[in-house]
Structure 1
Amino acid sequence: MEYTYVRHDRDLQDLCQQLASDEYIYFDTEFISEDVYLPDLCLIQVASRSGLSVIDPKGMLDLTPFWDLITSEHVTVVAHAAREEFLFCFRATGKWPTRLFDTQVAAGLIGMEFPVSLGNLITRLMGERLPKGETRTNWRGRPLSKQQIEYALNDVIFLDSIYQQLVAEIEKLGRTEWMVAEMNRFQQAWEDYSTRPGWRSVSGIGNLNRRSLAIVRELWTWRDHHARSQNVPPRRVLRDDLVVELSKRKSSNISQIKALRGMNRRDLDPYIQDLADCVRTALELPDDQCPVNQRGNANSQYTVLGQFLTAALGSICREARIAPSLACTVQDVRDLVAYHLDGSGEVPPLAKGWRAEVIGQTIEDLLDGSLVVRIGDPRADEPLAFQRLPDPAE
């Protein structure tokens, strides 16, 4: 396997000038995230008509020329499950790749499972199997071995062929505009994830009242500052379940905080007073300064209808050759039910774009009673059948 190993700024600039004449760039990254605040970028693998390249971030000062190339208007960037690749680029430049094609998303748009791993996608489309010998390798170690580099490059050498097959199928199904819309949607979601208040991502806060949410926000802010300064994962500083439990107890009493199971760690002792101060600050906030829970509509009627309609969702999506998990979530179905019955709030995802065409209209017809679902052949791969009722006015 022939490749260029890029480890200095001047070499990266030369590579980017060479890649600038290529219409397509296929890339992937290797990173480590389990012991740091933000993922540690360790390697960038690139394939193009110019050949294969490995960019070593540990050996250079400035990756800006590469990220500027990735966000330029004339190049189509192809990657698989590109969330982290996008975030590396966005954090460095504040810009999106203009023409990003995510092969994982594209696979879901033609009816394959979502999310699908790169290895499974390569096997399905190419009949090849990726080696797994370096799955747990330490990408920070230097020098990297030939086996490590070739293992990393295997993640990009098939992307051209995969891209060509996926594009051909998407065009055959008339879904090119869908793919463009999905890339915009995913990149916007990734940007929102990167910039929104992180405390909203604490697990287990869905049923908390406003005062408890205020405590969560204060504790998260303290935890985030501490984790960033120490360059460690925030949950290693204080687990989510402990944050939620402290918010439920609403006590700034140090002895009561220390009595909570899980708070008796020796490394937490120096910070017990800080945690008590966080709780106290939140308890003293005026009511109108406490955050509101942003969970979906909890109406029990909508929940029951959502559960029923979700059961039929798989049949709808498979008939349309769309991965159900790409099309929508259970909450999306509930939001459509609420919007259809009440007509209030923002237009939900299932009432816009291709999702309205493929899924939303069918669900609305079921809610109106003009379409019914029944068991067709119970032994068939798709046992549910849809039947349109005659219009009483005709």
Structure 2
Amino acid sequence: MYQFIHQQQDLQNVLNLMDQSSIYGLDTEFIKVDTLWPKLGVFQINISGKVYLLDGAALDLSEFWNKLFNAQQNIFHACSEDIDLIYHYAQQKTLKNVFDTQVGMSFLGHGLQVSYQNALKTMLNVDIEKDQTRSDWLARPLSPEQLMYAANDVEYIMQLSDKVKAELSGKHLLDCALEDCRNLTHEIGQETPMAMLYHDVGNSSPVKAQQTSWI
């Protein structure tokens, strides 16, 4: 189950929960426009097994960004586009607390760009649909199919992370994987200009970003 958050007062409940647990499973759904900058549609977060879908078109996420930077750990799968989006919106680029399950799986011999769908099947024997990848995430209302798709992207990520970390630890590779994640987020920060704040671009047609998650 999940909860779609589009009212600012409801976001406070999520922020309060984030104070009680500082490890989060995260993903984003976005559109890129002619400026090549991402426009956030939905930010998904799993907090202690509870899934929330944050409406990027309606919410002020300033406090949310700060909590991500102060978290014990932010867990993603194929995080490059997500980190770039966070750096762009938060106008900070020092996120050092990331564990990317795709990076972790590469250390376990599953290839450099295993998709989230294949990762779940391989590690947890869980099947999810990826049929809404090219949806318009700025359209409102979002369809039930879009919302379920978005929720599935973080529903199992904590379990996936636990399994990947356990296998890495067993092979004495967890520290290496975490160092690679730190290097990755640093490199993304080096490539993300801070001077350009996001702005709307008239009536330009949205184009779905090229994801690194390899569907």
Q: What is the TM-score normalised by the length of structure 1?
A: 0.48
CA contact (8 A) 2:49 2:155 kept: no
The DSSP-based 3-state class of the residue aligned with 1:192 is helix
CA contact (8 A) 1:80 1:102 kept: yes
Residue 103 (1) aligns with residue 93 (2)? no
The DSSP-based 3-state class of the residue aligned with 1:162 is helix
C-alpha displacement of 1:63: 0.9
RMSD of Structure 2 on Structure 1 (CA): 2.4
Letter in 2 for 1:125: M
C-alpha displacement of 1:64: 1.1
Structure richer in helix, relative to its length: 1
Pick closer, same or farther for the CA change 1:59–1:98 going to 2, 3 Å.
same
C-alpha displacement of 1:3: 1.9
Pick closer, same or farther for the CA change 1:230–1:26 going to 2, 3 Å.
closer
Pick closer, same or farther for the CA change 1:27–1:187 going to 2, 3 Å.
same
Residue 85 of structure 1: aligned partner? 82
* 1:7-86 aligned within 5 A: 7-33=6-32, 35-49=34-48, 51-60=50-59, 62-73=60-71, 75-86=72-83
CA distance in 2, matches of 1:168, 1:229: 43
CA contact (8 A) 2:84 2:192 kept: yes
Task: Work out the percentage of aligned pairs sharing the same amino acid.
Answer: 24
Letter in 1 for 2:99: F
CA contact (8 A) 2:34 2:201 kept: no
CA distance in 2, matches of 1:4, 1:230: 30
Please list the CA deviations of residues 208-256 of structure 1 after superposition, one character each: whole Å capped at 9, or x if unmatched: xxxxxxxxxxxxxxxx9xxx895769xxxxxxxxxxxxxxxxxxxxxxx
Pick closer, same or farther for the CA change 1:229–1:99 going to 2, 3 Å.
closer
The DSSP-based 3-state class of the residue aligned with 2:41 is strand
CA distance in 1, matches of 2:100, 2:70: 17
CA distance in 2, matches of 1:5, 1:229: 24
C-alpha displacement of 1:78: 0.5
Pick closer, same or farther for the CA change 1:50–1:107 going to 2, 3 Å.
closer
C-alpha displacement of 1:37: 3.0
CA contact (8 A) 1:32 1:139 kept: yes
Residue 195 of structure 1: aligned partner? 193
- Which of the numbers 137, 140, 146 marks the counterpart of 2:138? 140
CA contact (8 A) 1:47 1:53 kept: yes
Query: Which protein has the larger Cα radius of gyration, Structure 1 or Structure 2?
Result: 1
CA distance in 2, matches of 1:33, 1:63: 19
CA distance in 2, matches of 1:171, 1:133: 34
CA distance in 2, matches of 1:125, 1:140: 32
CA distance in 2, matches of 1:35, 1:93: 20
CA distance in 1, matches of 2:151, 2:111: 24
Letter in 2 for 1:155: D
Pick closer, same or farther for the CA change 1:194–1:95 going to 2, 3 Å.
closer
Please list the CA deviations of residues 130-160 of structure 1 after superposition, one character each: whole Å capped at 9, or x if unmatched: 2133232211110112221011111111101
Letter in 2 for 1:124: T
Matched residues, number: 201
* 1:214-293 aligned within 5 A: none
C-alpha displacement of 1:35: 4.4
Pick closer, same or farther for the CA change 1:229–1:129 going to 2, 3 Å.
closer
Pick closer, same or farther for the CA change 1:127–1:35 going to 2, 3 Å.
farther
Runs of 4+ with deviation above 4 angstroms? 228-233
C-alpha displacement of 1:58: 0.9
Instruction: Name structure 1 gaps, 5 residues minimum.
Output: 197-223, 234-394
| Greater relative contact order (Cα < 8 A, sep 6+) | 2
CA contact (8 A) 2:25 2:46 kept: yes
